Amino acid sequence: MTRLVIVGGGHAAAQLAASLVEKQYAGQIVLVSDEPHIPYHRPPLSKTLIKDPEAALPELKAASFYEQAGIELRLGTRVRAIDRARKALEVSAVQGSGTLAYDHLVLATGATARELPGVPADTPGVHYLRTYAQAQALREALPAAGRVAVLGGGFIGLEIAATARQLGKEVVVFEAMPRLLARSVSPEISAFLLETHRKAGTDIRLDTRVDGLEVADGRAVAVVVRGEPLPVDLVVAGLGAQPDVELARAAGLDCRDGIVVDATMATADPAVSAIGDCTSFPHPAWPQPLRLESVQNANDQARTLAARLCGEPQPYAAVPWFWSDQGDARLQITGLWRPGYDSVVRPASRGNGFSVLHFEGAQLRVIESVNSPVDQMTARKLMQAGQSPDRTASADPAAPLKPAG
């Protein structure tokens, strides 16, 4: 029987397993993860899981799913190396080391948090947030923290900042760029989020680089900015993430800001595929290879690969979309923003939400919505169908978003 081995325990790995079961894949499926938990939802880590002491592991699928589907779970197992010539993995676990043979290998290794240079990752008082264990550690530390410093004004940093403020903490966010989420969202959304967080009482300092941390008795006690220490009780490093390509690179696979794959998630080795946050892939709507960190991308790439493995190849062409909950603001984005688009602001038909629609000529390329889910979903359906609303009419909340013409 053909053995398919999936390395990784995130959304992409879980969705691939589920899609293969749905398509009645005939081979054996083995899922290997270095975490001790079955695959779980990642978005709640920065919200519910760090503020609710009763929050449990948000499983993507119950353990019974894997058991009933005949999927072998090897949890708490680290892959040390890939031997492509022998089609085997070198693995280690509590119960010992050994090898695991594969007929087809899928790398769903995700991304790892960028760490503070010169600061050991296990320094007391310093936290990262990529895993359930890290969320638990942060949840346990927050109650005793009066002042929380968040390094980085990206999605994770801002979500944690909003959650910490809801818990009554004094929060200061340091962002090196001149605006929040400068690489991901438009200036209009950056300005709205800045105002929203500041109104909530969060101290946001833009254009500010942190020189380092002050450590006393082995614990981080201050953030050093422009030579001056700012005393803090807890530091959260939200410095972004980098693709986990160590195994792939060591095995000789092409890695350039991710494991290079084609539109069906295949690497140059016909026995190896890759999906999710760790991949660099072509997209018909973007001029250069993309690497996306999103649940949608992980799930859609997994479905694309499952189709190929089951003899139904189809290229990945999904329109990217994302979301972020920051306090009372729910941000939803479809498409990938870049400078130069013509922007139209559209108030929501109800409430105080709004959307910013970005056009290239007559083509809608991106819609960013804050507390405006109806417009977001309508525009997303249009974009997925290759259609666009009339640009002028889009500014009128009373005019429905519908195909132009």
Please state the domain extents for the chain: 3-112+241-309, 115-237, 338-395
Q: How many CA atoms does the CB half-sphere of 66 hold within 13 Å?
A: 23
Decide whether 3-112+241-309 matches 115-237 in CATH topology: yes
| Phi, psi at 164, each rounded to 5° | -65, -35
10-residue block means of pLDDT along the chain (405 residues)?
95 98 97 97 94 92 97 97 98 90 98 92 95 96 97 97 97 98 96 97 97 94 96 96 97 98 98 98 91 97 98 95 95 95 92 94 97 96 95 94 89
Cα torsion angle, 217, 218, 219, 223, sign: positive
Tell me what pLDDT residue 179 has.
Answer: 98
Q: What local confidence, expressed as pLDDT, does residue 80 receive?
A: 98
CB contact set of 84 (below 8 Å; sequence gap of 6+):
251, 252, 269, 271, 272
| Residue 27: predicted pLDDT | 95
Write down the pLDDT at residue 386: 93
Q: Do residues 299 and 293 make contact, with C-beta atoms less than 8 angstroms apart?
A: no
Instruction: Fill in the amino acid letter for 368.
Output: E
Q: What's the per-residue H, E or C state across 300-367?
A: HHHHHHHHHHCCCCCCCCCCCEEEEEECCEEEEEECCCCCCCEEEEEECCCCCCEEEEEEECCEEEEE
pLDDT of residue 121: 85
| pLDDT for the residue numbered 49 | 94
Q: Looking at residue 96, what is its pLDDT?
A: 81
Residue 53 burial (C-beta neighbours within 10 Å; 0-12, 13-18, 19+) = exposed
284 by Cβ neighbours in 10 Å (0-12 / 13-18 / 19+) ranks as: exposed
pTM: 0.95
Q: Which of 248, 266, 275 is nearest to 13 (CA)?
A: 275
Long-range contacts of 130-138 (CB under 8 A, 24+ apart): 130/45, 130/241, 131/35, 131/45, 132/35, 132/37, 132/40, 132/45, 132/49, 132/57, 133/35, 134/45, 135/45, 135/46, 135/49, 135/50, 136/49, 138/50, 138/236
**Which of 182, 157, 186, 209 minimizes the C-alpha distance to 358?**
186
Q: In 3-state terms, the chain is what percent helix, strand and coil (to 5)?
A: 25, 30, 45
Indicate the CATH number of 115-237 among 3.30.300.20, 3.90.1150.10, 3.50.50.60, 3.40.190.10.
3.50.50.60
Contact predicate 316/343, CB 8 Å: no
Return the CATH superfamily for domain 3-112+241-309. Answer: FAD/NAD(P)-binding domain (3.50.50.60)
